[in-house]
Amino acid sequence: MGKRIKMAVERRKVSRAAAQRDNNRHDSEGEKEGKRHKILSFARERVPLIGFLLVTAIILCDQSLRSNRSNRLSAENGLPIKLRPKAEDIEQSDNKHDGFMVLGMHRSGTSMLTGLLYLAGGYTFGGSVYKGRENPKGFFERFDVVGQDTKWLKSQEIPWNGDVLRYDWEKALADHKSGKIPFDQGERAMRLLFKNPKATPWLQKDPRMCLVLKTWLAILDKKPAILFTYRHPLESALSLQKRGGSKMHLLRSLKLWIAYNMRAIQNSKGLCIVRTTNTAVIANPLKELQRISDEMTSKCGVPLPPHPVSQEEINKFIDPTLQHHNAKSNNEKEVIKTYNDGTCIAYDYESKYKDRYTPEQLEEEREIYLKAMKIYCDLESGKAYEDDYEWPDIGYMENPVQKPADWQNAKLKTDIDWRQKQKTGQQKTGKMKFSKKGIM
Q: By CB neighbour count within 10 A (0-12 exposed, 13-18 middle, 19+ buried), where does 129 fall?
A: buried
Please compute the mean of the pLDDT values over residues 166-193 and round it to a whole number.
96
Q: Which helix (H) or strand (E) holds 329?
A: none
Please compute the mean of the pLDDT values over residues 198-207 and round it to a whole number.
94
Query: What CATH number is given to the structural domain containing 194?
Result: 3.40.50
Residue 351 — very low, low, confident or very high, per pLDDT cuts 50/70/90?
A: confident
Q: Is residue 428 part of a domain?
A: yes
**Are 297 and 259 found together in one domain?**
yes
Query: CA-to-CA distance for 341 and 376, rounded, in angstroms?
Result: 14
| Contact call for residues 144 and 183 (beta carbons, < 8 A) | no
- Name the pTM for this structure: 0.72
pLDDT the model gives residue 34:
61
Residue 195 CA: distances (Å) to CA of 192, 200, 229, 335? 7, 9, 25, 50
Q: Which domain holds residue 53?
A: 21-83
Q: Is residue 375 part of a domain?
A: yes
Asked whether the predicted pLDDT for residue 168 surpasses 50, the reply is yes
DSSP 8-state class, residue 383:
G
Asked whether the predicted pLDDT for residue 406 surpasses 80, the reply is no
SS3 307: coil
Q: Is residue 305 part of a domain?
A: yes
pLDDT the model gives residue 392:
96
**Are 408 and 279 found together in one domain?**
no
**Are 421 and 325 found together in one domain?**
no
Q: Which residue has the higher pLDDT, 242 or 12?
A: 242
**Are 238 and 359 found together in one domain?**
yes
**Are 339 and 431 found together in one domain?**
no
Q: Is residue 11 part of a domain?
A: no
| Contact call for residues 145 and 152 (beta carbons, < 8 A) | no
Write the CB contacts of 81 (distance below 8 Å, at least 6 apart in sequence).
Answer: 70, 71, 74, 75
Q: Is residue 298 part of a domain?
A: yes
Where would I find the H helices in 301-338? Answer: 311-317
pLDDT the model gives residue 222:
94
Q: Which helix (H) or strand (E) holds 155?
A: none
pLDDT the model gives residue 84:
58
**Are 114 and 186 found together in one domain?**
yes
Residue 119 CA: distances (Å) to CA of 12, 23, 213? 95, 79, 25
pLDDT the model gives residue 66:
46
**Are 292 and 342 found together in one domain?**
yes
pLDDT the model gives residue 426:
46
Q: Is residue 259 part of a domain?
A: yes
Residues in the chain: 440
What single string gives the DSSP state of each residue in 278-298? HHHHHH-HHHHHHHHHHHHHH
**Are 437 and 288 found together in one domain?**
no
**Are 79 and 132 found together in one domain?**
no
- List, for residues 44-92, the tens digit of each pLDDT value: 555 555 555 654 555 555 554 444 444 444 434 444 434 555 555 544 4
Q: Is residue 345 part of a domain?
A: yes
Kindly report the average pLDDT of the chain as a whole number.
Answer: 78
Nearest CA to 175 among 240, 225, 219?
219
Write the CB contacts of 236 (distance below 8 Å, at least 6 apart in sequence).
Answer: 105, 106, 107, 108, 253, 257
**Are 280 and 371 found together in one domain?**
yes
- List, for residues 276-331, the tens digit of each pLDDT value: 999 999 999 999 999 999 999 999 999 999 989 999 999 988 765 555 556 655 66
Count of domains observed in the chain: 3
SS3 336: strand
Residue 438 — very low, low, confident or very high, per pLDDT cuts 50/70/90?
A: very low
Q: Is residue 15 part of a domain?
A: no
Burial pattern 185-202, b for ≥16 Cβ within 10 A else e, equals: bbebbbebbbebeebebb
**Are 201 and 248 found together in one domain?**
yes
Nearest CA to 232 among 143, 107, 316, 62?
107
pLDDT the model gives residue 275:
98
pLDDT the model gives residue 217:
97
**Are 70 and 104 found together in one domain?**
no
